[in-house]
Amino acid sequence: MAALLLRTSRGLGACLRVATGCPSPSSCVVAAWSSARWPREGAVAWRTHAQVRHYSSSDKLSIDMDDKTGVAVLKLSNPPVNSLSLELLTELAIGLDKLEMNPSCRGVIMTSAHPHIFSAGLDVSEMMGKPTEHYREFWRAVQEMWLKLYGSSLVTIAAINGSSPAGGCLMAMCCDYRLMADNPKYSIGLNETKLGIVAPFWFRDTMMGVVGTRVTERSLQLGLMYSPAEAVHVGLVDRTVPEETVFEEARTEMARWLKIPDHARQITKSMMRKTTIDHLLAQRDSDISNFANFISKDSIQKSLTAYMQALRQPKK
Ligand SMILES: CCCCC/C=C\C/C=C\C=C\CC(=O)SCCNC(=O)CCNC(=O)[C@H](O)C(C)(C)COP(=O)(O)OP(=O)(O)OC[C@H]1O[C@@H](n2cnc3c(N)ncnc32)[C@H](O)[C@@H]1OP(=O)(O)O
């Protein structure tokens, strides 16, 4: 039970270090992941007689876990555009943590409850006209969500049923597999430079892990948004599917991934992602300070204000 409390209160990295006796975040990720799925003493907390269990208490996020299949469905539900507010980011991190701790959960499908928008990315209003302390708290929540999703030992599949700029694209890229609705009106990409802001190194590294260095360099500098077909072409999305089948295709894809023994897949995933995760863990505080300093600058605030004004103009 002590281990369970540590898990919930201090996050997976800390609890796994305790569980594995590992002294530092950087030395224990592989060991941690290989043992993360065996925290049987924590099982009691989440075991349920019902087959499907509703996890999230937030109205901005629903998480339904099917104990029979081991697959959870996480739906973003923050109208109008599923922007990632401080509240939603916090709910996401907590929800992902709960799933990680549930021994019967093996995979998560992430999607949007609202057609046409997967997620508009970070809520820009959280980055405008606020005190520095708020920026620090907000950025820590962004980091936390990324650490939980990118560092998840579960199979994670993004069922991208709408546009997915910036932070929305980041969440999709954190997943193991991406399916996108083939609607040419939708787009996906890291467009930060178009807002006059800079994607931090861990956004960059996540993208590099998906599409490689050259495509990342071009995409980030130009703030490129890709249509679903273009996204498949550059490898940002694994495949497009007819809009009405995105979710069912995600389930079918999940079944494929779940045929692989968990321990072998988890250790392999950890080997692929460990360096990037350790990089952020080692620089968390300085990354927060960089963000808070950068976003507080008058020039950046002006840029964000102009961007939001342009967004509010009627679309041609
Ligand atoms: C060197 C040191 C570096 C340190 C690091 C420094 C900085 C890093 C910083 C930040 C990284 C940020 C990553 C992000 O995620 S920034 C967010 C980027 N997101 C976008 O650009 C998306 C913008 N939105 C859109 O393109 C469209 O809205 C969208 C395609 C999603 C939907 O289009 P639709 O036509 O359906 O809807 P709209 O009418 O455009 O929007 C409705 C409503 O929602 C508001 N809104 C849209 N997006 C956001 C958002 N991201 N945050 C807050 N609000 C948003 C929009 O303004 C409309 O509001 P209203 O007019 O109804 O009031």
Distance 165 CA to ligand 1 centre (A): 8
Span 283-293, average pLDDT = 98
Whether 271 shows a pLDDT value over 70: the answer reads: yes
More confident call, 11 vs 74: 74
Helix and strand totals (H; E) in the chain? 13, 10
Span 72-80, average pLDDT = 97
Whether 43 shows a pLDDT value over 60: the answer reads: no
| Contact of 254 with 260, CB cutoff 8 Å | no
Catalytic residues: 122, 167, 191-192
Does ligand 1 come within 6 angstroms of the Cβ of 142?
no
Mean pLDDT of the chain, nearest integer: 87
pLDDT in the model for residue 34? 35
Does ligand 1 come within 6 angstroms of the Cβ of 120?
yes
- Which atom of ligand 1 is the closest one to the Cα of 308? 57
Atom 59 of ligand 1, residue of closest alpha carbon: 312
Residue 50 confidence class, pLDDT cut points 50, 70, 90? low
| Contact of 48 with 62, CB cutoff 8 Å | no
More confident call, 6 vs 294: 294
- Which atom of ligand 1 is the closest one to the Cα of 124? 52
Whether 202 shows a pLDDT value over 50: the answer reads: yes
More confident call, 35 vs 191: 191
More confident call, 173 vs 14: 173
Residue 116 confidence class, pLDDT cut points 50, 70, 90? very high
Give the pTM.
Answer: 0.88
pLDDT in the model for residue 168? 98
| Contact of 296 with 138, CB cutoff 8 Å | no
Whether 47 shows a pLDDT value over 50: the answer reads: no
Q: Which residue has the tokens 């840029």?
A: 303
Alpha helices per DSSP H over the chain: 2-20, 29-36, 43-46, 86-101, 132-150, 167-174, 201-211, 213-222, 228-234, 246-257, 262-282, 284-296, 298-312
